Amino acid sequence: MMPMRQMQPPPGRDAGTPVEAVPADPLAALFDGVGDEAAARVQREGRRRDWRRYEHLFLAGGPADTVHIVLHGRLRDYYGDGGGNEHLRRIVTPGDIVPFCLLCHRERSHASSCRALCRSTTFDLPLPLFLELAHGHSRFAVNLALAAARQLEHSCRDGCLCRKRQARARVAGYLLSRLGRLPGCVGDGSTVDLRPLSVMAEELGLARETFSRLLMELERQKLVRNARGLVTVLDEAGLLAIATDDAPLP
């Protein structure tokens, strides 16, 4: 298979950002081993798409004809109640596929809405091609299962963090998870990029002001150092103690 980073848009196609700029990960992992013919179809029919902050990828009830593979940024997948209120379903992060539920049922309309929380990039494929690959290529099916397992693990982890009763426990656990210091998490180094803070706050179900105040509190305790959203963890043991002590405040 031609490496995904070398894929070129067909002549005359307005592709916006060149397809060769698409990162090899997660595309290379997802389409690895599908064969040259299938890879050529992905090259012809897929496209990279950039989304502005708050731009909707799709709305509930709209036609579901495209699968989005997230390359960069963060998306909010949510339900609306008809009264203007939004109920978070999950935060979609790089490597995730949305809407994944299209692979599990025959409905061809969106059950939820999805919008970009910040400038984001996806690699989009027509749903029929995606389903054809999933049903006709065993290697792609295995790759897809691995992607689904990762997506489920991250959703469960984020759900557990957001259910913590103390907001400070959520923030401490989130920082450790981003560093890869919690079971099942992958990370590197000791610094976490939380920019923009409003996006990360929403990921934890907190107001931006609350998130900023808690970071300041952790900094006063000399557990972290915050440099305009670049947070360096100074005391992992101290953060872990806060993350695991979720007793209600008196």
pLDDT in tens, 94-124: 889 999 876 666 678 888 999 998 899 999 9
What is the rounded distance in angstroms from the CA atom of residue 143 to the CA atom of residue 188?
Answer: 24
Pick the CATH number of 164-244 from 1.10.10.10, 1.10.4160.10, 1.20.950.20, 3.40.50.300: 1.10.10.10
Average pLDDT over residues 37-41: 92
Q: Give 192-222 pLDDT, tens digit per residue.
A: 888 888 878 877 878 899 999 999 999 999 9
Q: Give 2-31 pLDDT, tens digit per residue.
A: 344 444 433 333 333 333 333 347 788 899
Give the pLDDT of residue 159: 67
Q: Tell me if residue 155 falls in helix, strand or coil.
A: helix
> Where along the chain do its domains lie?
4-159, 164-244
Q: Where are the beta strands (DSSP E) in the chain?
A: 47-51, 56-58, 66-72, 75-80, 86-92, 97-98, 113-116, 120-126, 191-193, 224-227, 230-233
Say what the pTM is.
0.70
Average pLDDT over residues 72-87: 83
Task: Kindly give the residue spans of alpha helices, DSSP state H, lying in 85-126.
Answer: none
The CATH number that domain 4-159 falls under is 2.60.120.10
Give the pLDDT of residue 227: 92
Residue 51's φ and ψ, nearest 5 degrees, are -120, 135
The rounded percent of the chain whose pLDDT value lies above 70 is 80
Token output for 136? 């006709």
Average pLDDT over residues 131-152: 88
> Which residue did the predictor score with more confidence, 3 or 147?
147
